[in-house]
Every structure is written in structure tokens, then in C-alpha cells.
Structure 1
Amino acid sequence: MQFSSVNEAIRVLRIGTKNERWFEAASFLIDRASPEVKLMLEVGRELEKKERADGEKRSSTFPVKQWVIVLLGITVIAGSAGYIGWLITRSVGLSCG
């Protein structure tokens, strides 16, 4: 069903995406938009694509940094445990070998 006026389409958009006519109303308004508005819509789409690409880059490099920090922490803990164990064996007088 087509809309008879821009105001009717805007009322449907204000209801929200739950309205089954929401996409139809959006298309109706975009088709009747001025060239400047269409340009701004295109700019908005491109900015959203760029933000998504930047977010994917950040999220793909984050786990690598996280794993490096975790492995470094495990190494420090293991080294500390070994050193403490060595100190205990020396103080007790045990020798390996």
C-alpha cells in the first residue's frame, strides 16, 4: 500500500521498526527526498561501513594482544613459583642431583 502523504509515512516511521509498514514508509520518503538528503544518506552509509571496518580491525587485533599478555603473565608466575621452590629447597638443605 502506498502512502498518500509524507506526513503519513513519517507517522509510520515514528512508531518504529516493529510496524510492518516501516520499510515501505522509509522507501517512500527516500524516493521523494531531495538530492542533498540522498547525498547525506549515502555519506551516512559510507561512515557506517568505515566504522564497522575499523571495529573489525580493532577486534581482530585485540585477542592477539590479550594472548601475549596472558602468556607473559603465565611465564612470570611460573618463573616466580620456580624461584620460590628453589629458595625453599636451598633453605631446607635438599639438593637435586
Structure 2
Amino acid sequence: MSFNPTHRHSCGFGRFRLELDPSSQQLLVKTGWFSTPQIIGFEQVRTVEVSTSNNIRKPYVQINTTDLDRPQHRVSFHTGRGAEQWYNRLGAAMNMQGFR
């Protein structure tokens, strides 16, 4: 099954990317200028965390995976509301119980 995202997010002129494909149960994540985009299957995701405050750093969604080489993927957002929407979208797609 090919990767065909239904939702896309980018921030920082392509520095951060997050794409969701519920039908193939995969995410595409890019977390830096020089990192390559990585496709992560839902079965590799342990937890998803959200930070909506804009005090110290931009709001973000952090995806924690079972991959020991790169266990965390943090994607920044312009607003806390956008991060919250993506957190809820990922939770609904993966049927996850969220902890904040």
C-alpha cells in the first residue's frame, strides 16, 4: 500500500514536516533542516505528547517511537492550537489514549 497523506503540516520553510495517512497507517516525519523525512508505521509509535505553550520554544507535537536510533521526533507548530489539533488528529487515527 502506498503512502497517500490526507493531512499535511509544515513549519519553518520545510524544516519541520508531518504528514498523516490513516489508510496505510503511516506517518511521515521530518524534524530538522538536514534530516531526511522518515516514514513511521503506527505500530512503531509508543506515545504522542503535545506542548501548546509558547513561552520558551514553539508549540510542538512529540512522537516517541520504538526505534532505538531515533526514539523521539519533535515537530514544531506556529500556534498551540495547531499543535492541539494535530495531537487530537493523531490520537483519533491511532485510537490512542493521550496523557498530558
Q: Same fold (TM over 0.5)?
A: no
Structure with more helix by fraction: 1
Structure with more strand by fraction: 2
Higher relative contact order (CA 8 A, sep 6+): 2
TM-score range, shorter chain: under 0.3
